[in-house]
């Protein structure tokens, strides 16, 4: 039986990271120079969002906004769904499909170490890409699955940056705030 490929073996590690306070035009120039479709938005060494070509098109260009005046933090997708480097490509693809995302930043020991995309998965395993297309045709986002995932961003109670946010009562909370709820 063939060895299962894990995320760490297929992810990109040469990440483009930006500060949330730069302008969209600055981020777009980085994306153009690096020939990539996204940048990870990092604050205090923690990923807090992702800015994609789609975000720029839908939230800046289509709205007639000036990309030289709009800040990344105003249009980035946040919070971001993250993944562990040691899950299988199949599991990562399932997470992307069920949560309707095409990119997963990879976190290990609370550090951003890479990103895995549907393109990376299809390059490593074309059959998984075909399965992903079928799943996507069947359903958009599986809300109950999505709510059980781990996110990176700001806790909605204490505003602390965390790579381990979880959905509780419709809010993304850090472990400390989740623990505090247990004792209320």
Q: Is 1 within the bounds of a domain?
A: no
pLDDT given for residue 67 in this prediction: 96
* Cβ proximity of 24 and 67 under 8 Å: yes
Q: Is 94 within the bounds of a domain?
A: yes
Q: Is 79 within the bounds of a domain?
A: yes
State pLDDT tens for residues 102-127. 899 999 998 999 999 988 887 776 66
Q: Is 2 within the bounds of a domain?
A: no
**Three-state helix/strand/coil letters over the chain:** CCCCCEHHHHCECCCCEECCCCEHHHHHHHHHHHCCCEEEEEECCEEEEEEEHHHHHHHHHCCCCCCCCCEHHHHCECCEECECCCCEHHHHHHHHHHHCCCEEEEEECCEEEEEEEHHHHHHHCHHHHHHHHHHHHHCCCCHHHHHCCCEEEECCCCCCEEEEEEEECCEEECHHHHHHHHCC
User: What stretches in the chain show pLDDT beneath 70?
Assistant: 1-3, 125-143, 184
In this structure, what CATH number is given to the domain that contains residue 174?
Answer: 3.10.580.10
> Please, what is the average pLDDT of the chain?
86
Q: Is 17 within the bounds of a domain?
A: yes
pLDDT given for residue 173 in this prediction: 86
User: How much is the pTM?
Assistant: 0.74
Q: Which domain holds residue 17?
A: 7-182
pLDDT given for residue 132 in this prediction: 55
Sign of CA dihedral 112, 171, 19, 91: positive
pLDDT given for residue 113 in this prediction: 95
State pLDDT tens for residues 17-29. 999 999 999 999 9
| Domain count within the chain | 1
Buried b (16+ CB within 10 A) or exposed e, 56-91: beebbeeeeeebeebebbebbbbbbbbbbbebebbe
pLDDT given for residue 49 in this prediction: 94
Q: Is 80 within the bounds of a domain?
A: yes
pLDDT given for residue 1 in this prediction: 44
pLDDT given for residue 51 in this prediction: 96
């Amino acid at each position: 039986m063939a060895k299962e490929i894990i995320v760490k073996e297929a992810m990109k590690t040469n990440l483009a990271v930006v500060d949330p306070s730069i302008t969209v035009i600055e981020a777009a120039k980085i994306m153009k120079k690096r020939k990539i479709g996204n940048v990870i938005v990092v604050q205090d060494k923690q990923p807090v969002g992702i800015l994609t070509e789609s975000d720029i098109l839908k939230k800046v260009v289509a709205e007639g906004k000036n990309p030289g005046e709009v800040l990344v933090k105003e249009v980035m997708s946040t919070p971001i769904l993250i993944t562990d480097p040691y899950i299988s490509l199949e599991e990562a693809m399932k997470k992307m499909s069920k949560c309707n995302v095409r990119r997963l930043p990879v976190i290990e020991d609370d550090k951003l170490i890479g990103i895995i995309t549907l393109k990376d998965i299809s390059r490593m395993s074309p059959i998984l890409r075909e399965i992903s297309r079928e799943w996507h045709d069947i359903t958009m986002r599986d809300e109950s699955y999505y709510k059980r995932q781990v996110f990176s961003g700001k806790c909605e109670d204490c505003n602390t940056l965390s790579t381990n946010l979880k959905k509780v009562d419709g809010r993304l909370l850090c472990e400390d705030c989740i623990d505090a709820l247990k004792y209320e």
